[in-house]
Chain A
């Protein structure tokens, strides 16, 4: 991605900061070299700033009225309008040029500077990146902060970049040229896997081997997850996620969704029932509980602060039942997987997904009764986050229900083989088994 930064210019030696007054060019519009791109105000005057290169204005970071230091990122262009562009990643990777001064006033002249004054504060925590990974990413034009590191201390290593680049090769274009990463395995009737909030397809990793022997499993990484594009937006709406999923279906498919993924599966079934052969809803919800709203809020807040390891530790008690948490070996294995998974979803994506989830909440409660697709609902007895699964099963005509007592919300991880058994039976029958566990 070759974004071109538009920064607060330094107009004269004394200018430290400027205020954005106006953006005459709309986001998405083309601007020619030399045309007025923005108007700023300095301590002296209003000044029109011309574009130094031609391009398409892709994103504005500094709205009118914002005052920023010289060198600060204001907007980004790309040469071609179709070029893939991730506004967050671009701003994340943008470094102010050397010599960009802060707006703080300089120390008074003539007074000796003590060592304490020149001592720098600790560098902000930075994820370790191996030189080889950095070099390869630079060569391939990839942005590092979207790539999960699998080396010691989460170090991003060369093979991570290679894997990411390979995944980018596999992207499938949906609406607006957004690329989604699909993971395909096996052959047969298609089974589409939709991961839950804040999670990538690794949440189905234990399940997939059971299914891919007899079906083609197609995992979809939603926007912002894994290697899929993360277009800038305030919200990733559920109907958009459903449209994305529907767009990658080659024909009528079995949909398997977990939690927020189940919501997306439901939405696909409502919008394009002819493309859905069956639904498997793992710990689904149609209304966001106060607890789920609060939990996902904490998740969003902490994701920006905590290391992946600590993030995983925070999540585990919410997602798993007593048995798993009590088993040290299983728990630490699960935490390692979770650590890698949380790295695959950026804080921005969490915010956007959460906004989409909250907007969707309650919008389909009344529609469940008219759902005509064979449906299996898998509920967890100790689910703290989506306690309505059994009510949803009851509301969907003909839906089967399996309840896993003592399990937590992340059922596909915690009870993978049980989930697989139920799922395979459901897929084989074309409908859910009628029996309920003992």
Chain B
């Protein structure tokens, strides 16, 4: 692993930022301070951070309904995200998008997406742009195991493989499609094998291990950037919270969940590994914990104080007004 100490600390900061952000949202929703459907990313942080740490601004990302982690990992400001989730005028989407539609085009974040699987062709299109405009960029689609059962997934993989597009398709296989265990609806153990149908390279990573995700993503991205075509990367991970805040979780085995949460937490996993290898010291991590906590508290405070959107905004941004 060739990460510097600073890079490791930055990676940890992102992992922690996602975790704290999501924990805070859970509190705010339960307290009735925040509305809408809220799908939390806690537990899957290593996937977003392991991949996005290796992306630049010319690389693009599409995300899912469970998208806060990808946004934060891709560098979207959390103050703007928090304001968006509060529905304020200062939100990154002016309060028009909400949890499922956070985007930051300039940072290559093409948006969370409320439609399962819909981000996959969008990333394919972004990869097509990169190919035709020769930007050298890669497009990364994050999506869950559920999305791999959509036609959009198969159509996109076929096209991308056929055109050898620089696209990385990242499956976050968290074991559940909404409330249904993946094994109930998918006859293969490793979804990554679906790449074989399209003569596409595939990899499998431990989605709870930042370093494994990082390594497999590095290999995949190098492959994509070399012009050899797309890669399907399956990350085996786990959703700590339910499908959404308020999910009663009756469908999942408590012991199994406890095992994932207590013994395979990606943040704990990261900490153990960097401490054991003496790459960073515990105090530095605790300091980051505190800084992130303050950062999130400040984001909540500023978001709650921010103005509501003007109702006239209901009808703006429907079209590019100077576009025709």
Task: Establish whether A and B are touching in the complex (CB under 8 Å).
Answer: no
